[in-house]
Structure 1
Amino acid sequence: MTTQTAAPARLRGGHPQHTTDQEQHMPIRPENRGRYPINWPDISRSIRIDRARLRCECDGRCGTSHGGRCAARNARPNPMTGSLVVLTVAHLDHNPANCDPANLMAACQACHLRYDREHHAQTRAATRRAAITAAGQLTLEDPCPSAST
């Protein structure tokens, strides 16, 4: 009989972390994992399963008129896009450290991406500015702003 050894626990912020299939697919970049509380998998699971019952909680906050609550359900085809739904948890204030249940919304990928669209645009712009500055390429300001009027 062959025995398997358990995979080592994943580390986040220096703390041991258990993984599940859902957490292995979480769309959290490795460099951002430290911004989430160590019990994020439990918090996320509670929102997705216990509160939302594996259904997207978006009620149009993403900018789509669902006619009520979004009908997308975890592990089923999204009724709007046809893609397989992996239910995620959105931070309504975009702050991963704020895990107050009132700040969290179970969301299908489509609603989560639409909800975060403006925030993602802002962070992309900030990242571009930082890269340009780091490369020594500063934007030039008009040396004579009053002369251009």
Structure 2
Amino acid sequence: MPIRPENRHRYPADWPAISLRIRTERAAGRCECHGECGRGTHTGRCPNRQGQPAYGTGSRVVLTVAHLDHQPENCDDTNLRAMCNGCHLHYDRDHHRQTAAATRRAALAAAGHQPLFGLADIITTPCARCGAQATTRAHCRPDLLVNPDPAAPAGADSAPFCAPCADWVVSAWRGTNHAPCGRDRATWAAWTTPLPDHGTA
């Protein structure tokens, strides 16, 4: 996976050599995922090989190296796994959600927006759908954003959700109620409000 510029300093100077050794010598050009990615699309070791068509999609496989603990500083061989781009993206999906939420929170804070909840509130706020730790406040009734109801109490159009459930709620609402706009970044930003960082990264 491409290294984001802001994370480049977290990788050792010899990272290219480490990555090449894991991908070519240890993995012999084949994805080392044995299902830890959670895709559920292969049993045993993933059959994808560098530069070959990926099973199921036919797209060209790019072999990458995943840090199992998501810490680029930890380059011990036991923490590294050669993964095809599909397995790597799926393995990192929750980590990507968390870092994206942190980026949104930072952008909102930089723009002067105040969080909807205080620290004490979010620590004890469960997801309205699954009960997990809430990280986002999603609009259950996005129609109220388009046609506000002045009689509705503040917050009546939204509830706290974890990131996966917030995604589900927004998608489900669009699927059953014919939302007035497409689900793009602007729509997601309008329908969700990240909650403050509560130190559980």
Instruction: State TM-score, norm by structure 2.
Output: 0.56
Matching residue of 2:83: 107
**TM-score under structure 1 length normalisation:** 0.75
Whole-angstrom CA distance in 2 between matches of 1:129 and 1:99: 29
- Specify the SS of the correspondent of 2:65: strand
Is there any run of 5+ residues in structure 2 with no aligned partner, and where? 122-201
In structure 1, distance between residues paired with 2:70 and 2:83: 14
Aligned residues: 118
Cα offsets for 1:75-100 (capped at 9, x unmatched): 10111221101100000000001000
Could you give the per-residue CA deviations for residues 112-134 of structure 1, whole angstroms, max 9, x where no partner exists? 00000000000000110111111
What is residue 171 of structure 2 aligned with on the other side? none
Distance 2:99 2:58 in 1: 29
Which residue does 1:28 correspond to in 2? 3
Matched, 1:75 2:51: yes
Q: Among the aligned pairs, what percent are the same residue?
A: 63
Extract unaligned runs of 5+ from structure 1: 1-25
Distance (Å, rounded) in 2 between the aligned partners of 1:68 and 1:128: 37
State the SS of the aligned residue for 2:69: coil
Structure 1 moving runs of 4+ over 2 Å = none
Sort the Cα spacing of 1:125 and 1:77 in 2 relative to 1 into closer, same or farther, 3 A.
same
Higher share in helix: 2
Name the counterpart of 2:101. Answer: 125
Inter-partner Cα distance in structure 2 for 1:140 and 1:77: 47
Look up the SS of the partner of 1:90 in the other structure.
strand
Q: Superposed, which structure 2 residues align to 1:1-149 within 5 Å?
A: 27-65=2-40, 66-141=42-117
Q: Provide the C-alpha distance between the structure 2 equivalents of 1:140 and 1:89, rounded to a whole number of angstroms.
A: 38
What does residue 18 of structure 1 align with? none
Q: What is the rounded CA distance, in whole Å, between the counterparts of 1:54 and 1:127 in structure 2?
A: 34
The one-letter code sitting in structure 1 at the alignment partner of 2:110 is A
Cα distance in 2 for residues equivalent to 1:125 and 1:139 = 13
